[in-house]
């Protein structure tokens, strides 16, 4: 009866108060039945004392039958004489969550302003921002479950993950395990066996690490490790939920990652790309001192331009970062030094092997300067960041399962020995290689002139003095011109 009474009031845009509301009787009057002051503490007007008397005669009265669970409506006057209102306190967060539950389930990113507009359009009632926010929170609680309850089941989830995904890595850390009180959840690391095997067998040894904030009831961070496959697409490797970004958590995450990847020689052979988050550089020095480190150039530029801004500085900075030879790098740096010695010194304090292509090693076969792979993955998992811990982990697992299957099906349609990314690169190089002047020197050595640049290409050693071939493993424009001149097949 209470639900039906509330539904009727909302649909007709009226408000009522309950004079009696117990296990034996239910009496409802219109909130605007007269001009008497409405008592918000007792939520009722007991008796009309104003001079103009009753204006609205709406009344609902029902009692419970003796020795029965049934109720009987004794008085029912549903017609209102008062003015309708766009504000209604009967439109509660619980009511909105129940009414739009399926919309919340189908659209987790439903914005507060859209919820307010939908309620006004459907019900003709304005709801406040806080009420819409509470309705969305309650709907998420119904759909995804309680966050506090899920934190007590992380160990069970970890055991189930290791049982049904043999070879996977799951590391759960709690605090005060030996105390009388219940232990407190701190961190959880997950690396699925399929992702680990895929990275080891089919990806370049370059890993981007980054963190992003959780948006649920409990604050924290999601730490991610992402690689790149042969088609230059992102390849998520592992993720973890931690309480904060600091040195201890990054050390724990990197140790778990290296253990999952079976890398025991202090990161030797791996290249890590990062945004230089708080505590991460110190963690690399402690856990993976032999790994090559690269810093996201976009973040370096964001800090650099705060002191040295302008189009000229920007052009010279990016020219230094993209320089594949020492000569090009020094030309750009000397130009910066000519403009401002302090700017030159600022950049000189960062080792070029971390941000300029000419100083990168050829081990990982990648010339990337940005940590876009982590930022892309963080954008993809945005829907998981506001969910409880186990719902979040299951969302990530299902997403990776679906993504791996989509990639598998796509590979079946590939033709030839090269990936679509390499074919696209070759298509772009072909028109530029036609303008190159190729001169054979001896055996497999050629001299190639492209615009005002002149390079030496060694086809047998697969090297070019522009350094791009060794850096990426993909022939540069000079090497591609030699391949066309020899009329060889680029696939081989």
Position 149 scores a pLDDT of: 84
Position 355 scores a pLDDT of: 93
- Looking at the structure, tell me whether residues 238 and 382 fall in a common domain: yes
- Looking at the structure, tell me whether residues 387 and 246 fall in a common domain: yes
- Looking at the structure, tell me whether residues 271 and 378 fall in a common domain: yes
- Looking at the structure, tell me whether residues 382 and 354 fall in a common domain: no
Q: Is residue 405 part of a domain?
A: no
Q: Is residue 492 part of a domain?
A: no
CATH of the domain at 181: 3.30.420
Position 215 scores a pLDDT of: 84
- Looking at the structure, tell me whether residues 282 and 323 fall in a common domain: no
Q: Is residue 253 part of a domain?
A: yes
Q: Which residues of the chain register pLDDT less than 50?
A: none
Q: Is residue 83 part of a domain?
A: no
210 in helix, strand or coil?
Answer: strand
* Cα separations in angstroms, 421 against 299, 373, 425, 492: 26, 16, 6, 16
- Looking at the structure, tell me whether residues 13 and 156 fall in a common domain: no
The answer to whether 26 and 61 have CB atoms below 8 angstroms apart is yes
Question: Residues 29-78: pLDDT tens digits?
Answer: 887 777 666 665 665 555 666 666 667 878 899 999 988 889 999 998 88
- Looking at the structure, tell me whether residues 181 and 227 fall in a common domain: yes
- Looking at the structure, tell me whether residues 157 and 275 fall in a common domain: yes
Q: Is residue 491 part of a domain?
A: no
Q: Work out the end-to-end distance of the chain between its first and last CA atoms, rounded to an integer number of angstroms.
A: 78
The answer to whether 228 and 198 have CB atoms below 8 angstroms apart is no
The answer to whether 287 and 254 have CB atoms below 8 angstroms apart is yes
What angle in degrees, to the nearest 10, is found between the helix axes of 154-164 and 389-411? 20
Cα 209 to Cα 438: distance, rounded to the nearest angstrom: 42
Of 329, 359, 389, which residue is a domain's last? 359
Question: Residues 317-375: pLDDT tens digits?
Answer: 999 999 999 999 999 999 999 999 999 999 999 999 999 999 999 998 999 999 999 99
The answer to whether 340 and 268 have CB atoms below 8 angstroms apart is no
Quote the domain boundaries for residue 380: 151-296+370-397
- Looking at the structure, tell me whether residues 390 and 274 fall in a common domain: yes
The answer to whether 404 and 235 have CB atoms below 8 angstroms apart is no
Q: 110-143: string of b/e by CB count within 10 Å (b at 16+)?
A: bebeebbebbeeebebebeeebbebbbebbbeee
Report how many helices (DSSP H) and strands (DSSP E) the chain contains, helices first.
19, 15
Cα 432 to Cα 479: distance, rounded to the nearest angstrom: 12
Alpha-carbon 158 to chain mean position: 22
Position 387 scores a pLDDT of: 87
The answer to whether 226 and 374 have CB atoms below 8 angstroms apart is yes
Position 223 scores a pLDDT of: 93
Of 77, 108, 135, which residue is a domain's last? 77
Q: Per the structure block, which two tokens stand in for 307?
A: 């002191």
Q: Is residue 406 part of a domain?
A: no
CA dihedral angle for residue 460, residue 466, residue 469, residue 475, rounded to 10 degrees = -80
Q: Is residue 54 part of a domain?
A: yes
- Looking at the structure, tell me whether residues 252 and 376 fall in a common domain: yes
Position 339 scores a pLDDT of: 92
As for how many domains the chain has, the answer is: 5
- Looking at the structure, tell me whether residues 155 and 292 fall in a common domain: yes
- Looking at the structure, tell me whether residues 274 and 164 fall in a common domain: yes
Of 77, 112, 134, which residue is a domain's last? 77
278 C-beta neighbours (distance < 10 Å), count: 12
Cα 369 to Cα 440: distance, rounded to the nearest angstrom: 34
Cα 131 to Cα 114: distance, rounded to the nearest angstrom: 13
Position 405 scores a pLDDT of: 93
Q: Is residue 414 part of a domain?
A: no
Position 46 scores a pLDDT of: 57
């Amino acid at each position: 009866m209470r639900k039906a009474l509330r539904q009727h009031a909302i649909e007709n845009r009226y408000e009522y108060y309950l004079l009696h509301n117990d296990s034996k009787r239910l009496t409802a009057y219109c909130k605007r039945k007269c001009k008497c002051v409405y008592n918000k503490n007792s939520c009722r007007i007991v008796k009309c004392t104003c001079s103009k008397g009753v204006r609205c005669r709406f009344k609902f009265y029902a009692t419970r039958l003796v020795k029965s669970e049934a109720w009987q409506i004794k008085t029912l006057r549903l017609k209102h004489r008062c003015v309708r209102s766009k504000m209604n306190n009967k439109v509660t967060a619980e009511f909105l969550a129940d009414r739009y539950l399926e919309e919340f389930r189908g659209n987790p990113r439903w914005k507060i302003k859209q919820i307010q507009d939908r309620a006004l359009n459907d019900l003709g009632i304005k709801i406040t921002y806080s009420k819409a926010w509470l309705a969305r929170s309650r709907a998420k609680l119904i759909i995804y479950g309680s966050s506090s309850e899920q934190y007590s089941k992380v160990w069970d989830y970890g055991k189930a993950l290791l049982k049904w995904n043999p070879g996977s890595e799951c590391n759960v850390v709690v605090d005060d395990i030996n105390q009388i009180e219940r232990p407190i959840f701190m961190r959880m690391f997950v690396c699925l066996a399929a992702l680990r095997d895929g990275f080891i067998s089919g990806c370049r040894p370059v890993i981007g690490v980054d963190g992003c904030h959780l948006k649920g009831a409990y604050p924290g961070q999601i730490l991610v490790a992402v690689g790149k496959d042969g088609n230059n697409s992102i390849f998520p490797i592992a993720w973890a939920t931690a309480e904060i970004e600091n040195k201890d958590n990054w050390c724990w995450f990197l140790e778990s990652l290296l253990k999952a990847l079976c890398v025991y020689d202090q990161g030797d052979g791996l290249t890590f790309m990062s945004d230089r988050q708080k505590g991460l550089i110190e963690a690399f020095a402690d856990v993976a001192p032999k790994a090559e480190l690269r810093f996201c150039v976009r973040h370096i530029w964001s800090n650099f331009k705060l002191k040295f801004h302008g189009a000229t500085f920007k052009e010279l900075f990016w020219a230094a970062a993209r320089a594949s030879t020492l000569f090009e790098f020094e030309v750009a740096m000397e130009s910066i030094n000519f403009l401002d010695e302090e700017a030159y010194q600022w950049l000189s304090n960062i080792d070029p092997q971390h941000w300029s292509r000419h100083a990168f090693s050829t081990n990982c076969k990648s010339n990337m300067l940005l940590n876009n792979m982590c930022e892309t993955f963080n954008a993809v998992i945005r829907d998981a960041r506001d969910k409880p811990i186990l719902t979040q982990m299951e969302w990530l697992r299902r997403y990776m399962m679906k993504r791996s299957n989509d990639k598998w099906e796509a590979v079946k349609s590939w033709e030839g020995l090269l990936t679509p990314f390499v074919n696209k690169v070759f298509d772009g190089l072909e028109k530029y290689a036609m303008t190159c002047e190729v001169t054979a020197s001896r055996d497999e050595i050629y001299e190639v002139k492209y615009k005002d640049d002149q390079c030496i290409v060694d086809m047998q050693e697969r090297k070019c003095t522009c350094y791009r071939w060794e850096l990426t493993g993909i022939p540069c424009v000079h090497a591609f011109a030699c391949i066309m001149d020899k009329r060889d097949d680029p696939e081989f």
